[in-house]
Amino acid sequence: MLKIQDITYAIDGRRLFENASATIPTGHKVGFVGPNGTGKTTLFRIIRGELALEGGEIELPKRAKIGGVAQEAPATGLSLIETVLAADAERASLLADTSEDPNRIAEVQTRLADIDAWSAEGRASSILKGLGFDDAAQMRPCADFSGGWRMRVALAAVLFSAPDILLLDEPTNYLDLEGTIWLESFLARYPHTVVVISHDRDLLNRAVGGILHLEDKQLTFYQGNYDTFAKTRAAKRAVQSAAAKKQAAQREHLQSFVNRFKAKASKAKQAQSRVKALERMELITPPEEAAKRVFSFPQPEELSPPIVAIENGAVGYDGPDILAELELRIDQDDRIALLGKNGEGKSTLSKLISGRLHSSSGRTIKHNKLRIGYFAQHQVDELNIDETPLQHLQSERPDHSPARLRAMLAGFGLGPNQVDTIVARLSGGQKARLSLLLATLDAPHLLILDEPTNHLDIESREALVQALTTYSGAVILVSHDMHLLSLVADRLWLVSDGRVIPFDHDLAEYRRFLLGTPAPKKVTEKQKPNKSKREQLILARTEVHKNEERLEKLNMMYEKLQEKLAEPKLYEDHNADDLAVWQKKFSEVEKALERAEGLWLAASSKVEKLENG
């Protein structure tokens, strides 16, 4: 297991961890979450031994191999497949052994068989393919690829090397939706311990079974996926808040008595006893309110449809067309997600619609009053690092007062501490917020967002969903964040093989399509032909009654577990193991309750159908 015990660490005098502890059982898949800048990446560096602790210790299994992606694969002449295969140092060393000693040769061959060395190339190729590299790309040298693609190669290499403890820091930031879905599936099957820093809610719900939460310099381990963690934490905070409120009322009452009677001789003893009671009372601190994450998009006026139409369009980059036979229409109320692998043309289509590329043939018709906002990750990197957010905005709106500009920045979550800080010192999330503000400054009728959630934490992603939901312009989204797409998009366009076509299914079906999983078959109950309608009705009513009894029992268990989880003492450090057990029970009952409700609804529906039929 990975044991973090009473660790303390500070950077530039700022404490990131203070006597923090947590235990991650061997083989667990754990999501590591917490606000940006609180020390998650730093903890990975401590675990890898790159930083020395001020206090406490990290206990690792003996001879455990730790792996992670620190930087992109080097731009060498080695092919991608060779680069990934070289990540298994033991295999490479054994294959390079030129000993002529028969005993050594036998020893090497035995070990090669033990580590399944002969299937290595197939495994490496499969991982590269899952991350977006076809057979031809795998044979090309690393130097042919950009930094973002070489980050994928580095990820493929560490996955292939199969370390005992795999540490991944925001791995989906350089993946597309297809790569993200593949990685979710891979991590869920991974045979060793995984700790992944991620703000991707779907990945944290599908690929992990525990959440490690960093807050207020402390670490807390929760059993269950992200949604279970969010519910448990909300309940815990509600209990803590209620206990603090109750204690504050008690203290106020005791203090009031002391203030009234401390000068009266007849009440002096009682007043003194209440003073001692106040001194003995251990102060319960109410939970701090989470920093509010906001986006305030300016609303455009309504234009007559369509705002964009492309007729028999084609587009490329001074060469063969990348996309052709385009027949597309966009209205102001459209919410469109672009699906398809990297390199198929999603960004090309976005640039064509935004006017950054011109069609090589066909017609592109736009409303004459159309304003388009465009956000892409490269724009975050193109911000002036020596200017403050306020100065960026002053360049765009020189006629606005500083107070008005500050209010606009606050509308994107950039408060007083950030508006006068140069961009070089801002976090990735803060830079992304500034870029989003600049992209929406003119109240665009059409907003094109290419991977807008990179560097945004979960709360910021939820705020972005809310802003896009209330936004009255059209939206085109390219994102690896399935949660964002599922909540915002109502139309899906598949960009593939040089064409753009509607995908007439939902995102769940697209996910199954990518993973090669067949759609679930509809299960129908087989009824025996000799049963009369009356017999069927009796059986159905019996089923309803059984489900009602089951629901009653489960609801009682659910309420008791809620009461148990509301006990403040359960959240004390020495009760961590008990808390994990109770949280697991709560999660199991919650799932059972959901299943029971579904069965009861199905049985009730059947009774109603038989009674009315």
- Would the pLDDT of 290 be above 70? no
How far, in Å, CA of 96 to CA of 154, rounded?
A: 22
- State how far Cα 123 lies from the chain centre: 27
How far, in Å, CA of 254 to CA of 252, rounded?
A: 6
DSSP 186-230: HHHH-SSEEEEE---HHHHHHS-SEEEEEETTEEEEEES-HHHHH
How far, in Å, CA of 12 to CA of 538, rounded?
A: 74
CATH superfamily of 308-515: P-loop containing nucleotide triphosphate hydrolases (3.40.50.300)
Hey, what are 44's tokens? 């990975």
Q: What is the pLDDT of residue 246?
A: 78
Give residue for tokens 């006597």. 19
Hey, what are 263's tokens? 């000068």
Task: Tell me the whole-structure pTM to 2 decimals.
Answer: 0.72
DSSP state of 154: H
SS3 state at 15: strand
DSSP state of 68: E
Q: What is the pLDDT of residue 524?
A: 47
Confidence of residue 60 (pLDDT cuts 50, 70, 90): very high
Q: What is the pLDDT of residue 143?
A: 93
In percent, the amount of the chain with pLDDT more than 70 equals 91
How far, in Å, CA of 228 to CA of 249, rounded?
A: 32
Kindly give the pairing relationship between strand 210-215 and strand 29-33: parallel
CA angle 336, 346, 328 (to 5 degrees): 50
Cβ burial 502-537 (10 Å sphere, 16+ → b, else e): ebeeebeebbbbbeeeeeeeeeeeeeeeeeeeeebb
pLDDT tens digits, 138-169:
999 999 998 889 999 999 999 999 999 999 99
SS3 state at 60: coil
Cβ pair 430, 417 in contact under 8 A:
no
Higher pLDDT, 89 or 520: 89
Q: What is the pLDDT of residue 554?
A: 76
According to CATH, the topology of domain 2-230 is Rossmann fold (3.40.50)
CA angle 304, 353, 509 (to 5 degrees): 95
Give residue for tokens 């990446």. 41
Confidence of residue 595 (pLDDT cuts 50, 70, 90): confident
Cβ pair 167, 2 in contact under 8 A:
no
pLDDT tens digits, 376-426:
877 787 899 999 999 999 999 999 999 999 999 998 988 888 999 999 988
Confidence of residue 128 (pLDDT cuts 50, 70, 90): very high
C-alpha distances out from residue 427 to 39, 174, 293, Å = 13, 17, 15
